[in-house]
Amino acid sequence: MRIRSSYSFKTAVGHLPDVFSRVQEVGYPVAPLSDRASTFGFVRWKKLCDAAGVEPFFGVELAVVPRLGEAKPTIDYWTFFATDTLQELHELFALATSQCVGREKTPALLYEQALAPLGLIKITGERVQLDCFSNDDLDDNFFFGLSPSVSKGLCKLAMDRELRPIALSDNLYPREEDREFYRVALGGQRGSGTQSYEQHILDDAAWRRSVEYIAPEAYSDAALANRVACLSAAANGQRAVLEKAKLFVPDWEDFTAC
C-alpha cells in the first residue's frame, strides 16, 4: 500500500517504470504511489498507468509530530491516499510545508492535523505515538500501518487499542536485488542502510514472513484484508483523479480593443 520511488528525495531509490512494474508483479488492482513529501511523480505515474490500462491511486507520505518547535522532534511518517479529490491531499501537504520542524526543516503535521481530513485514507508509520490521540479521534479511514519495520511492542499496543491494521511494505527500493544500489546511493541518508527487515516492495507471501514475529496471524490476516478492501474500493472508483489543467485562453478581441 505504501509505495515510494526516487521522488522520495534522500529516502528511496527506484525509477518510476521500475517501481510500476514491481507494483504490477505483486498483483495490486490499482497502482498506488505515495512518495515522502513529494507529489512530483503524479503526472508520469498516471502516464505509466494509462499505457498499461491500470488506475493510479495517488498519495503522499508526511511527517507527523506531537509538537512544533523542537530541535529533535520524534517524527512518525504517515501515508495519506486521496479517495475523493486531490485538493484535500494538496491542502494537507501545503499545511505541512508551512510548519517545518527540526534542523532539516522537515514539512510536518501535528497529530490532530493529520487526523482531521475526512477524504483521505490515513495510515500510521513505525514510530507512531499512540498516546497522542484517542480512539474517539479516529474515523473509518484511519489504519495502523503494520509493516516489517514496526516493533512487536508497538504492535501489541495497537492491538490493545483495537486499532485496525493495514498491510504495508517499507520499501526504499523496488526489488530485493536493488538493495546494493540503494546502499551505495542513499544508505547514509537513512541510518546505515543495513536494517535486517526487508525494504523492497513485498508480495503477500514475503510480507507475511516479514511480520510473523511482530503480529499474531489473526492481526496479519486483518491487515491484509484491509489492504485488499482499500485497493478494491479504489479500483471501483473511490480514488482521486488527476485532471488536466485547463489552459487559459484570453479573449484577444479585448486586448486589441485597448
Residue 1 in any domain: the answer is no
Backbone angles phi, psi at 62, to 5 degrees: -130, 150
Strands (E) located in 20-134 = 31-36, 56-65, 76-82, 108-110, 120-123
Residue whose C-alpha cell reads 486483518 in the numeric block? 222
pLDDT in tens, 9-40: 999 999 999 999 999 999 999 999 999 999 99
Q: 80 lies in which domain range?
A: 16-257
- With 80 as the cut, is the pLDDT of residue 257 above it? no
By DSSP bridging, strand 165-167 and strand 31-36 are unpaired
Q: What mean pLDDT is predicted for residues 215-238? A: 97
Number of residues in the chain: 258
Contact 71, 101 (CB under 8 A): no
204-211 vs 217-235: helix axis angle to the nearest 10? 150
Check residue 192 and give its pLDDT: 45
CATH number of the domain that residue 168 is part of: 3.20.20.140
Q: How many domains does the chain have?
A: 1
Dihedrals φ, ψ of 109, to 5°?
-120, 150
pLDDT class of 54 with cuts at 50, 70, 90: very high
> Is 4 contained in some domain?
no
65 domain residue, yes or no? yes
Q: Enumerate helices (H) and strands (E) in the chain, giving the number of each.
A: 9, 7
pLDDT reported for residue 209: 96
Query: What distance in Å separates the CA atoms of residue 107 and residue 245, rounded to the nearest whole number?
Result: 26
Instruction: Report residue 102: phi and psi, to 5°.
Output: 75, 175
Nearest to 171 by CA among 154, 186, 157, 155: 186
Decide if 234 is inside a domain.
yes
Of 64, 81, 219, 197, the C-alpha closest to 129 is 64
Residue 208 is inside which H or E element, if any?
Answer: helix 204-211
Query: Are 42 and 32 a contacting pair, CB within 8 Å?
Result: no
Tell me whether residue 2 is in a domain.
no
Give, as one character, the DSSP assignment of residue 132. Answer: G
Taking only the tens place, the pLDDT of each residue in 154-186 is: 999 999 999 999 999 999 999 999 988 898 887
Determine the pLDDT at residue 94.
Answer: 96
pLDDT band at 250 (very low <50, low <70, confident <90, very high): low
The pTM of this model reads 0.92
Note whether residue 177 is domain-resident: yes
Closest by Cα among 232, 224, 229 to 205: 224
CA distance 226 to 222: 6
Residue 7 lies in a domain: no
Distance CA 159, CA 140 (A): 17
Task: Name the grid cell of 246.
Answer: 485547463
Identify whether 46 is part of a domain. yes
Centroid of chain to Cα 151: 19
Confidence check: pLDDT of 120 > 80: yes
